[in-house]
Structure 1
Amino acid sequence: MFRSDLFKGKRILVTGGGTGLGKAMARRFMELGAELHICGRREGVLKETAAELAAETGGRIHTHPCDIRVAGAVDEMITEIWQHGPLDGLVNNAAGNFIARTEDLSPRGFDAIANIVLHGSFYVTQAVGKRWIAGKRGGSIISIVTTWVWTGSAFVVPSAMSKAGIAAMTQSLAVEWGPKGIRLNAIAPGPFPTEGMTKRLAPTEELERRMIGAIPMRRVGKLPELANLAAYLMSEEAGYITGEVIAIDGGQWLNGAGGFGALTELTDSDWQDIRAAIEATNARDKAQRTV
């Protein structure tokens, strides 16, 4: 089904499309003929990705620096996109996460995740959906969640709560917007090799070893595997699928709630090392954003 013109004439927005899973999905959509829009907070990263994907695929790609935590900024971005034609698809991919003991979380730490994942995904979904409805157009929305939406997960409570909210939004709007020709589905990935996943969820070699050991297939996912699933769900060939949350995790979630339950065995010293590793990663990211 993955013919080269699968998405010919289709316009798709991927939030957080400059890196990681978002970049992999953007690449696949472009390979299959889509005109791409990607957004994120780091304009330099977006431009680098756009140049790379355009050179690889020969397709068209547009960049939109946008902080999806700000509803007004989201509406301005979607208005700008619509001036050149409506979207046909949306991927809510932008996210953030880190492991921490819940008693150590600050309100700011909680909001850092919830504002991107829960609030930001809703802002973009509503901004696109209401324009489709006003224009009497259908569309397809995919949200990237986690398997924690079914089980919860220790030590990533802000993400677990926020992703569960996105799953609820997906199921709720599948019913509310189904009669209007709008489909909503979600993908729940397990571990995939991205910089954000590795440095914040498995910041030490021991944590990475434990994580892979808990996956029945004994490996992390390959980015093209997730990108192909996204392409299928986005396409008209999946036109009768809506309101679903589909896991792609090598069986991990069946082998333990959330994948972090074993971290109850860690000592205070272990947690101090983890926190230091994550803070170092955050400091490097902040320095890059200010350059």
Structure 2
Amino acid sequence: MTNTYGSDVLAGKVAFVAGGTRGMNLEIARRYAQQGAKVAVLSRNQERVDAAVAELKEIGGEVLGFSADVRDYDAIDVATRATAEQLGPIDLVVAGQAGNFYAPANGMSANGFKAVIDIDLLGTFNVFRAAYDVINKPGASMIAITAPEAVRPLNFQAHVCAAKAGVNMLIKVLALEWGPEGIRINGISPGPIEGSWGMDNVATPTQEMKDRVTEAMPLRRWGTNTDIADSALFLSSDAASYVTGTILDTDGGAVISIPGTDKADPDDVRVKGRGHKVE
């Protein structure tokens, strides 16, 4: 854990992290707990919820876990209200859920396309809208995990590009609408993250591809889940009290530097046909 801000930066705060049971979102939940926040995590998989709750309780503080699908608004509403009732009004909200698979547009089903739109875009709206009714006003901070595909077209990612572009615009519109109430809305756009669930289970890049990407990046390294958690801590802290409606590219410069978005080699990634994997 880095110690840029000192200790207990988030003491007394209540955080709700959707998708917070693995990868970068679990690391965000860890960071929040380490900095003194009470934390609730949500995921569709009850076993992962139980494991995350057990781990976070070892860090200390109050922890809750909910098993629900972000596409189900009523279920998210129940989870956010239960969090506020048991831990107090929510101060920090992270919509980190994501769905992805690689497939050419003519090789995916309409249901496959819709699944990613619903998880990423509709899910972000559901998490933010449900939390809105039980957050501290003023003072709440909301973060959506977006992706470079929101602004950079990429082969085999039509569904993700469309979903994340929508997430980026949703962030900006909500920042306009809810800013007068003292609510900040921002996004984090991760670059290539070593060991992330998406990189290990969706993209599965070859070593040659990883080397090419690394060489093209200004900082010459892949990111870590810790890098993303540090960005979330900044946006959630008083240090970012005048930051809203922005997308923080935590990507080592990848979005401005990696060439070849107009080309793709199916051998570089595991390209799905009509099947899809969502999470």
Give the TM-score, by structure 2 length.
0.89
Q: Partner letter of residue 151 of structure 1? A: R
Task: List gaps (5 residues or longer) in structure 2.
Answer: none
- Are the counterparts in 1 of residues 217 and 258 from structure 2 also a CA contact under 8 Å? no
Q: Following the alignment from structure 2 to structure 1, what is the Cα–Cα distance between the partners of residues 208 and 108? A: 23
Deviation at 1:219, TM superposition (A): 2.0
Distance 1:275-1:149 versus aligned 2 partners, 3 A rule: closer
In structure 2, the partner of 1:65 is: 67
| SS of corresponding position for 2:272 | helix
Matches within 5 A, 1:1-291: 2-55=5-58, 57-84=59-86, 85-132=88-135, 136-193=137-194, 194-256=196-258, 260-263=261-264, 266=265, 270=267, 274-275=271-272, 282=277
Deviation at 1:17, TM superposition (A): 0.4
Distance 1:225-1:79 versus aligned 2 partners, 3 A rule: same
| SS of corresponding position for 1:184 | strand
Deviation at 1:131, TM superposition (A): 3.4
Q: Which has the higher contact order (CA 8 A, sep 6+)?
A: 2
Deviation at 1:209, TM superposition (A): 4.0
Q: Following the alignment from structure 1 to structure 2, what is the Cα–Cα distance between the partners of residues 66 and 162? A: 20
The alignment of Structure 1 onto Structure 2 pairs a total of residues equal to 274
Distance 1:100-1:216 versus aligned 2 partners, 3 A rule: farther
Deviations 1:234-270 (A, max 9, x none): 112210011111101111111247x75331xx36xx4
| SS of corresponding position for 1:275 | coil
Greater Cα offset, 218-227 or 168-177: 218-227
Deviation at 1:166, TM superposition (A): 1.0
Deviations 1:198-246 (A, max 9, x none): 2212354444444434433332102212111110101122100111111
State the Cα RMSD in Å: 2.5
Deviations 1:87-133 (A, max 9, x none): 1110110112122111111111112211110011101101112334x
Identical pairs, percent = 32
Distance 1:104-1:206 versus aligned 2 partners, 3 A rule: farther
In structure 2, the partner of 1:289 is: none
Distance 1:261-1:114 versus aligned 2 partners, 3 A rule: same
- Are the counterparts in 2 of residues 204 and 274 from structure 1 also a CA contact under 8 Å? no
Q: Partner letter of residue 4 of structure 1? A: S
Q: Following the alignment from structure 2 to structure 1, what is the Cα–Cα distance between the partners of residues 174 and 93? A: 14
Deviation at 1:138, TM superposition (A): 3.3
Q: Following the alignment from structure 1 to structure 2, what is the Cα–Cα distance between the partners of residues 137 and 216? A: 38
Structure 1 ranges of 4+ moved more than 6 A: none
| SS of corresponding position for 2:76 | helix
Distance 1:272-1:143 versus aligned 2 partners, 3 A rule: closer
Distance 1:83-1:58 versus aligned 2 partners, 3 A rule: closer
Deviation at 1:28, TM superposition (A): 0.8
Task: List gaps (5 residues or longer) in structure 1.
Answer: 287-291
| SS of corresponding position for 1:100 | coil
- Are the counterparts in 1 of residues 153 and 261 from structure 2 also a CA contact under 8 Å? no
Q: Partner letter of residue 154 of structure 2? A: S
Q: Following the alignment from structure 1 to structure 2, what is the Cα–Cα distance between the partners of residues 195 and 117? A: 15
- Are the counterparts in 2 of residues 2 and 32 from structure 1 also a CA contact under 8 Å? no
Q: Following the alignment from structure 1 to structure 2, what is the Cα–Cα distance between the partners of residues 232 and 147? A: 20
Q: Partner letter of residue 181 of structure 1? A: G
Q: Partner letter of residue 237 of structure 1? A: A
Q: Following the alignment from structure 2 to structure 1, what is the Cα–Cα distance between the partners of residues 263 and 212? A: 8
